[in-house]
Each structure stands twice: as structure tokens, then as C-alpha cells.
Structure 1
């Protein structure tokens, strides 16, 4: 007997019909009948009662069905085990990251993975967060580090890295620089300097403005957060950034909490669980270590805070 014969036998047993079983396993009806007759001949007993309108199991067939299912499950387990090994010996991973940003923990994870599995080819691509999400959804990327508004994108698995509130950043001496906090409508009279549409921080800001019925004057946009800060330092407008990114420029900018924006900007790794393989799972484990993230007791992934300052600064680039 062989595994194919067992598969055909199980199909007939479950469909109770040779024609439907043949369609299910993509073989002709005479072909499946011949294979099962050969199996019965090898076992020395009839497995299927063909005397009625439906194909029913004989006593021998009933006894054989359970072990047949176990045999197929064992064979599938063997295939999966070999695939697990092969996936870490040779393969390809496409990893997405935000444009114009140096992601040190991600680079550390990629380097550690490459040292352990040099046969896996790694391709790195850059884009904004919205585009990276679509690349993961369409299986054109295996993993992406993105910025999101409040929560990670629906339909994808995620590993949150850090979550931060938004602030406005202005140069010393600006009319807002003496304030302890500002509301969204307080900055309505000023030109806004922001990251482009499709980034996490911009999504948080735009949604908050829409919720308050405001239309901010986004006069300048830059994909690099340092450029946003630089433009604000030169007096060209009020910058909208994450707190940690703004604090990196505290020598030339004063940053103020932005009231009325309750949703945080989230930095997260995202991937599709339905297409994840052994190489991706191994890379994710390397990323957890690099970003200082470990599974929480309730099964969700949480950051331990060790890389919050660096990761938080990256939020402004998302």
C-alpha cells in the first residue's frame, strides 16, 4: 500500500461516493476505484461496501479508517519537519522598513539571523507605512517595521515595539514656547510642518484634526523627521513629532504636549501569520531580542522598555 491509496480510501469513506471522492482528490472515478481495489487486495479484505446507492464502510473499513488518517497525518508531519529545516537552510525573506530611517535594532536582528542562517537571502525594501502594509498583505514582503495610528493594521499579526503621544515642536522664543500644553485649535493659525500622508504620526494627527472638525494648514512635509525638526528650528512653522524625536532636538526646539490627540502613534513589526514560515519565525525571535520585547503573561507581546528611547525616536520616521 502507499499513502495515495490511503488518501483515496479516506476520501471515499468521507464522501460516501466514488464520484465525489474522485473529484475531491483530482482523479478519475475509474482510477480511484482501481486504487482502492488494489488496496483491498493487499489487505486481504473489502473496505468499501458497493452494494447500495452510497459507498459505505465494511467492518474492515471501519477498523482501517482511523489508522489510515493517522498515517497521513504522520506523513504530513514528516513533510513539515523537513520543510522547517529547508526553510532555514535556503530561502528568501523580504523585509520592509520605513524610508530614510536607521533602525539599529532591526539591523542587529538581521545580522544575527544572517550569521546563523547564511543560506537565506534577505532583501530589504523601504517605503512609507501604508505601502509596507499593502506589501505584507499581498505577500510581496514577509515582515515590515511600520508606524501606525493607535493599533496595528487589521488582519495582520503584529509585535508592538513602542507607543508614544504626539507633541508640537517650536524654536525658542516662539509664541507657543512658554505653554505647558497646547490644543489642536491653538496651532490652527500656524503653518504645520509634518511627515507625509501614509506615515503613522501623520495618520494620528490627521484623524485627531478630523475628529475635532479642524483643517490644519500643513504647509511643509518631509519624510525624514530630522528635516521636519530642522525646518521648525528655522521658524518655518510648527512641527508635529513624537516626544522622543522632538527631545533629540531640544538644543534648538521646545516641545509641548498636544492635547486632544488621545490615540498614540505605534511602532510595530507586522506580518501575515497565514504565510509565515520557519525563516520568518526565526527572524521574529531575533527581532524580539533586538528590540527588547518579550511575550507577556497573557500571550501578547509587550516591550520591556529597554529600547524605548531609541525606538520611540523612530516613531517620528513612520
Structure 2
């Protein structure tokens, strides 16, 4: 039994196919299939149920995969402790960020980390927050800057940077300017511009509207808050974002959304991160601190 066989088994279990596991691990699909089959022969049990479309765990696989995860986590912890004892930070960090992230603190922290640890390689993956959280949970990411309206899954550690409600962003001469708040019922009568599903803002909007028993279906969706602000400024609709995203942009005004669910911006990591991932987290936290 070898560690890479356990790693391949866990990857297939998490992703439901040999192809997806191979893509995530950056190895050939045939290699993943062959090594898992070899592990099954060594253990004397069929661990995966190979269907025509998806691959699932057999009862034996369900019983054994938690131990494979524990073994991989223990090996990672050994490396972390060894690096900490020698004071050496090395290796590779898989960093996830929301699409098009240009938060000054994040950019400054990234640059500072590269300057302080030039031998550490960094792989950056962009995605919506749900994808990034899944990447942390399935061990394809080490650190991620995520926006979320729900608590993060067990096994993840989060340092919350911002927690704020939603706001409607409108031109400075809009009829809503000066109102104490608008409701989901108000939004339902307008063209709404919002981030797509899988983002913290969109989840908060959906939760708020569900609590109000109102349906708000955004007419325009974009990953870039800047794009939504530019459209709102030109009268294309009402942008639903947070006040910090609007950032006091000239020509625009923000109006609170009544009884809004909160969205959080957090720096999240897996339990027992590597020394390199831990150093990246500390550096980003330092530069992202309010």
C-alpha cells in the first residue's frame, strides 16, 4: 500500500469519476484507475462501484475511506511539524480567490508572501465561493478567500474579515435615494443586477427574499462587481451588492435592503495546513486586517 494510492482513492470518492480525479491530481486517468485497482487487490476488497456514468463507494470503500483521509492528513501534519521545527517554509500553496479579486489587502499580502518566501510556489485558482469552499473540503485548495452567507463546513477554519448586509446601488438621482430601506418586494418591481449563484451576495439575496416570501430573479448576472456598478450608474438596473463593494463610487448611492441576510468575507483554510499554507494565511490576514 502506498500513499499515492490512498490519495487517488480519496480523489475518486470525492469527485465521482476517475477522469475528474485525474484532472484534479494532474495525472493520467489510466494511472489513477490502475493504482486504485492495485490497492483493491492488495486489500482484498472492491472499494469502488464503477457505474456507467459515476463511480461510487462500495460498503467496504465507505468503511475504509475515512482511514485513508486520516492517513493522508497525518502525513501532511508530519511535514508541517518538521518544517516548523527547522523554521523552513517551503513547498507549494494552492490559493483560491473569488473571480477577479482586486482587494488591495489581498494583492499586498500576496506580493509580501512572494517576497518573503520566494522558494514557495503558488498556484492560484479563481472560482465562485461555493466552488472554492468545495475545493478546500476536498483538499484541492489550501487557502481561499471566500464570500459566504452560510456557515462554512466542518473541518474548515475561517478568519472573518467582513460581515455586512446587502444594499441596493442606484444612480444618485434615483427615486430611492434618501429612503431608510427598500424591500425584496421593491426589488421585484425593478431590473435587478447581481452576482451569480454560488457567490455570497447571491446566496444572501436568495435567503432574504425567501424569508420575505418574494421572488427576485436578477435580469443580469456578472462575476465582476465593477461591471454591475458601471451598469447601475448608466441606469441599466438596480445592483444588489454590499456597501463595501460599492465603495463610495461617485455618481451612485446605496440604499439598505430591509431585513437582509448577512454575507461574510472570510479567509478559510483546511485543518492542519502545511507550513507554507500557514505562512500564506498569516501574511494575508495581516494585510487584510481592517
- Please tell me the TM-score bracket, short chain as reference: 0.5 to 0.7
Does 1:191 pair with 2:191?
A: yes
| Aligned equivalents of 1:234, 1:105: Cα separation in 2 | 29
Distance 1:217 1:145, change over 3 A: same
Report the 3-state secondary structure (helix = DSSP H, G, I; strand = E; otherwise coil) of the residue aligned with 2:257.
strand
Shift in Å at residue 223 of structure 1? 0.9
- Number of equivalent positions: 215
Residue by residue, what CA displacement relative to the aligned partner does 1:174-225 show, whole Å, maximum 9, x if unpaired? 2322422112212221111101111111110111111221111311111111
The aligned counterpart of 1:253 is 252
| Aligned equivalents of 1:196, 1:80: Cα separation in 2 | 37
CA contact under 8 A between 1:99 and 1:128: conserved in structure 2? Answer: yes
The aligned counterpart of 1:267 is 265
Report the 3-state secondary structure (helix = DSSP H, G, I; strand = E; otherwise coil) of the residue aligned with 1:182.
coil
| Aligned equivalents of 2:255, 2:145: Cα separation in 1 | 27
CA contact under 8 A between 2:94 and 2:125: conserved in structure 1? Answer: yes
Question: Structure 1 unaligned runs (5+)?
Answer: 1-76, 293-306, 308-318
Shift in Å at residue 254 of structure 1? 1.8
Report the 3-state secondary structure (helix = DSSP H, G, I; strand = E; otherwise coil) of the residue aligned with 2:185.
helix
Determine which of 270, 278, 287 is the counterpart of 1:290.
287
Q: Which moved more, 1:191-200 or 1:108-117?
A: 108-117
Does 1:169 pair with 2:169?
A: yes
Shift in Å at residue 116 of structure 1? 2.8
Shift in Å at residue 80 of structure 1? 6.6
Question: Structure 2 unaligned runs (5+)?
Answer: 1-76
| Aligned equivalents of 2:269, 2:81: Cα separation in 1 | 22
CA contact under 8 A between 2:96 and 2:126: conserved in structure 1? Answer: yes
| Aligned equivalents of 2:204, 2:231: Cα separation in 1 | 21
CA contact under 8 A between 2:183 and 2:257: conserved in structure 1? Answer: yes
| Aligned equivalents of 2:80, 2:169: Cα separation in 1 | 53
CA contact under 8 A between 2:149 and 2:262: conserved in structure 1? Answer: yes
CA contact under 8 A between 1:148 and 1:200: conserved in structure 2? Answer: yes
Shift in Å at residue 81 of structure 1? 4.8
Shift in Å at residue 153 of structure 1? 4.1
The aligned counterpart of 2:278 is 281
Report the 3-state secondary structure (helix = DSSP H, G, I; strand = E; otherwise coil) of the residue aligned with 2:189.
coil
CA contact under 8 A between 1:87 and 1:278: conserved in structure 2? Answer: no
| Aligned equivalents of 2:129, 2:137: Cα separation in 1 | 12
CA contact under 8 A between 2:267 and 2:285: conserved in structure 1? Answer: no
Shift in Å at residue 287 of structure 1? 2.0
Does 1:135 pair with 2:174?
A: no
| Aligned equivalents of 1:79, 1:97: Cα separation in 2 | 25
CA contact under 8 A between 1:94 and 1:125: conserved in structure 2? Answer: yes
